[in-house]
Structure 1
Amino acid sequence: MTELSWITLLPPFLAIGLALLTRQVYLALFAGIWLGYFLLNQSGFLPSLAEAIDAVIAVLGNPGDARVVVFTLIIGAFIITLERSGAVSGFVRFLERSRWVTNGKRAQWMAWLIGIVIFIESNITVLVAGTVSRPLFDRFRVAREKLAYIIDSTSAPICMLIPLNAWGAFNLGLLDGLGVQDPLKVLLASIPLNLYAITAVALTAYTISRNYNPGPMASAQVRTHSGDVDGIDIAASTGERKHVKPRLINMLLPVFTLILAMPLGLWITGDGEIFAGSGSTSVLWASFAALTVISLLVIFQRSMTLEELSHTWMEGAGRMLPLAVILVLALALGAISKTLGTGDYVAGMVGDAIPMAFLPLVIFLVAGVIAFSVGSSWGTFSIMLPIAIPVASALGAEPALFVAAVLSGGIFGDHASPISDTTIVSSLAAGTEHIDHVRTQLPYALIAGAISAVGFVGLGLLLL
């Protein structure tokens, strides 16, 4: 292919179309890769299939990409070991004994603060906050739908704003694989530009402080005040074994290790310069250090045998395997799109059709539509970043704003979507009907989305 044409758009468009149609991100990404190699070499569908498979395998030949994939598996092992060590129940018991909550507003603030403090994994945040707060919300007659909204809106956004977790590593791996120089610096620079994440957390705080209940939430609150706690009786499970003793130390020590090991790794790999360090190496070291600490704790506490611990590691890694597969496929799609010149073509096309200042808004809205339809923010990141990064590069623009637009759109669509796994888990943890959570959260998501859309226009005018 000697010149750029509309044909270069077909692989990512096929991936987007199949993702929207089938909601199968794996199939969609691989189909895009396959079509890309068919267009590149025009060697027939079967030879291009072999080339596509080789391209996926080749991703693991890059040390940085391989480190992020291994990190994803290690963090899965860490999370499940943490769950089964008594760490979560220990943290829950600590909060219950604090007796700080004396009214409905404080119950809401506690749920909000848990979402801020526990940033290692979105589902753990949701389950801990729901387990602790649900009885208090019932006692002070605050709607369970409000609890579901609070914990849903402080889980994924906080994981994006404090990216010392699988969310950060996943996007760091995508940026590194897409050829972004200093991917860690770009990811950190995108944090203050991640308007939806910031707005969602801030709007939740405003909602609590002002008792803001728009539309369906007002009806839910009136019903709850009358004594009708309408919900489900399924208790949210944190994944802990019932016979394990609650231990707060099992939450605090590994999490502090994770937090401290990350900058230490950056400092070491950067020869004393944190921002020159290797992000993929540092997150791998930090996750391994945290896994080592929690593993030693459960062995010394005799809450697990070495055999049980090794089985737990494998189970946790297995949980994260689908995300690792998405990451590898997304990197392979990004590679073939770069070879075809998709980003350069899109940049030339939109440069004539769309004012440059409006590109972040367009990217935000497209990512939001994909996430809403697919129900997966991670799947959206894997589809949109391989498109947005080359466009930014071709236009000579700083990539941080384009990254922030993709991440914001992914979380926005995920929050509004009734098929999002985070939305479903939030309903379960709060003990409310899923459709009630979707209905009551949608106005908040739309408000935060509208504010973010206006903000991205402003940022585009200022920065592009």
Structure 2
Amino acid sequence: MTEQQSAEPRLRFYGGVPALFIPFAVMLVGILWLGFTGLAFPEAFWPMVLAGLFVGLLLARSKQAYVDALVSGVGSHMLAVILLAWFLAGILGTLLSQTGLIEGLVWLSLTIGVAAAWFPLVTFFASAILSVSTGTSIGTILAITPVLFPAGFEVGADPLLLLGAIIGGAFVGDNIAPISDTTIVSAYSQGTDIRKVVRSRLKYAGVAAGITVLLYIGFALGGTTGAQPPTEAEVGPTGLIMLLAPAC
């Protein structure tokens, strides 16, 4: 070790290793607060991230070492890959949602004639399909909730089951989406390709999705059928063609 390396301050925190969880706890509490207050937009997450970083700075024994480590992390190649994947997923998600994919999924469920008791199950599949297509769970939740939640509530579907279907489908789809930022980062950080990452996740996501589907089938068989979904909804099948975008 050279004299210059030995003179560099080491990154240590007041409270030791357990103190490392405090900045993450600050970010987590902030994000949960955004969710409960209805402000869970991607743009609103940045203040919570900055708050966590600031708390980490306060806990660091050497501020210089903390700033050096932060700058090194920001300038890393991995972070560039993460941000690029996140931006591209957001762009594709916005493109698909604005070109009628959600309306196409709603049209499909209305054409089939889904009853109220089965609407949460259809919502789960629609949310999973959209999430796989866009590669973003949060974007799927924000895009599909204003469409399918009111439609399901209107025909008498259980609102709690609807919310669970939207969130569950979004995260199941995002977990196996080849274009998801988490999938790309996992492949990059582990030195493998995206196909292998998706294949390794399929068995876990498949079990979770299978259990969820069985539960929703049980809820549907034990519930009332309700009225048929409103056919006057202004939806059409043309948006379904956008499912080819992520496949290509």
2:142 matched residue in structure 1: 123
Residue 89 (structure 1) aligned with residue 103 (structure 2): yes
Alignment counterpart, residue 80 of structure 1, candidates 89, 94, 115: 94
CA distance in 1, matches of 2:209, 2:53: 29
Distance apart, 1:31 and its partner CA: 4.1
Alignment counterpart, residue 7 of structure 1, candidates 16, 35, 47: 16
Q: Cα deviations across residues 201-230 of structure 1 (Å, max 9, x unaligned)?
A: 43223222233xxxxxxxxx9xxx9xxxxx
1:399 matched residue in structure 2: none
Q: What is the identity, as a one-letter code, of the residue corresponding to 2:237?
A: L
Runs of 5+ unmatched residues, structure 1: 212-220, 226-244, 262-464
Residue 255 (structure 1) aligned with residue 235 (structure 2): no
TM-score by length of 2: 0.60
Q: Cα deviations across residues 85-106 of structure 1 (Å, max 9, x unaligned)?
A: 344335434543x2623x4434
Distance apart, 1:192 and its partner CA: 2.5
Alignment counterpart, residue 171 of structure 2, candidates 160, 170, 183: 160
Alignment counterpart, residue 170 of structure 1, candidates 174, 178, 181: 181
CA distance in 1, matches of 2:211, 2:48: 28
Task: Verify the 8 A CA contact 1:115 1:155 in the aligned structure 2.
Answer: yes
Residue 100 (structure 1) aligned with residue 117 (structure 2): no
2:25 matched residue in structure 1: 17
Distance apart, 1:81 and its partner CA: 3.2
Distance apart, 1:58 and its partner CA: 1.3
SS across alignment from 2:99:
coil
1:208 matched residue in structure 2: 220
Query: What RMSD, in angstroms, separates the aligned Cα atoms of the two structures?
Result: 4.1
Distance apart, 1:8 and its partner CA: 3.3
Alignment counterpart, residue 192 of structure 2, candidates 182, 196, 206: 182
Distance 1:165 1:20, change over 3 A: closer
1:57 matched residue in structure 2: 74
Task: Verify the 8 A CA contact 1:172 1:183 in the aligned structure 2.
Answer: no
Distance 1:21 1:86, change over 3 A: closer
Identity of aligned residues (%): 10
Task: Verify the 8 A CA contact 1:89 1:246 in the aligned structure 2.
Answer: yes
Task: Verify the 8 A CA contact 2:128 2:172 in the aligned structure 1.
Answer: no
Number of aligned positions between the proteins: 206
Alignment counterpart, residue 134 of structure 1, candidates 136, 153, 177: 153
Q: Cα deviations across residues 237-264 of structure 1 (Å, max 9, x unaligned)?
A: xxxxxxxx96533x22222220x23xxx
SS across alignment from 1:182:
coil
Q: Cα deviations across residues 277-335 of structure 1 (Å, max 9, x unaligned)?
A: xxxxxxxxxxxxxxxxxxxxxxxxxxxxxxxxxxxxxxxxxxxxxxxxxxxxxxxxxxx
Distance 1:109 1:252, change over 3 A: same
Task: Verify the 8 A CA contact 1:110 1:133 in the aligned structure 2.
Answer: no
Q: What is the identity, as a one-letter code, of the residue corresponding to 1:83?
A: S
Distance 1:73 1:20, change over 3 A: closer
Runs of 5+ unmatched residues, structure 2: 1-9, 32-46, 135-139, 227-233
Distance 1:203 1:171, change over 3 A: same
TM-score by length of 1: 0.36
Distance apart, 1:188 and its partner CA: 3.9
